[in-house]
Amino acid sequence: VTVMFTDFKGFTSFSQNLSPELLVKTVDYYFSKFDAIMEKYELEKIKTIGDAYMCAGGLPFPTEDHPYKMVQAAFEIAQVMEETKLNPPKDIVPFDVRIGINTGTIIAGVVGTRKFAYDIWGDTVNVAARMESLSEPGRVNVSQSTYLLIRDSYACEHRGQIHVKNKGMMDMYFVNEKKDEPTIKAKKENIINI
């Protein structure tokens, strides 16, 4: 599966100066937008923890395209945040967002006896959280495992190896944009040149 975490930069310190009503209204505004994006790409919202949003693709029903859908969803989340900064609705506080994505195996299920919640665990989830915390505002930071799956479709920028808590040095990549599909004319020119 592909796991994504998002987090609002400076949220904890900023929220100390907001009224509870404004805080809840702001978080609800963003997470409602994120929920709509998850639905659009058939991705699974797992949970929110404060200002962090966690979702996954490729479950509960396996799919092949979850890394691509997750990256597209990440771009749309970044776009929501940027548009809100440029033109904030009344009583909505603009924030920068950090986004991290990782692909791998996970364990999923429901545990406990009260307030049942579907959740996911494992190293893949932990690495996705690290990709988010080591990202930069407005950027989509992916692990090498995700990069290897999306590199033919997305232009990525290698960040080098970065130290990850409890993991050591790991390769990371910023996803910059979707690569353009070659035009029919370009395809014909390539055939002629061959």
Catalytic residue among 69, 98, 130, 139: 130
Q: Structural domain boundaries of the chain?
A: 2-193
- Here the contacts of 84-93 (C-beta below 8 Å, separation 24 or greater) are 84/29, 84/30, 89/29, 91/22, 91/25, 91/26, 92/25, 92/26, 92/29, 93/14, 93/18, 93/22, 93/26
pLDDT tens series, the chain, 194 aa: 999 999 998 888 888 888 889 999 999 999 999 999 999 999 999 999 989 999 999 998 899 999 999 999 999 999 999 999 999 899 898 999 999 999 999 999 998 888 888 899 999 999 999 999 999 999 999 999 999 999 999 999 999 999 998 889 999 999 999 987 554 444 444 444 44
Catalytic residue among 40, 85, 165, 179: 165
pTM equals 0.89
What CATH number labels 2-193? 3.30.70.1230
33 is catalytic: no
130 is catalytic: yes
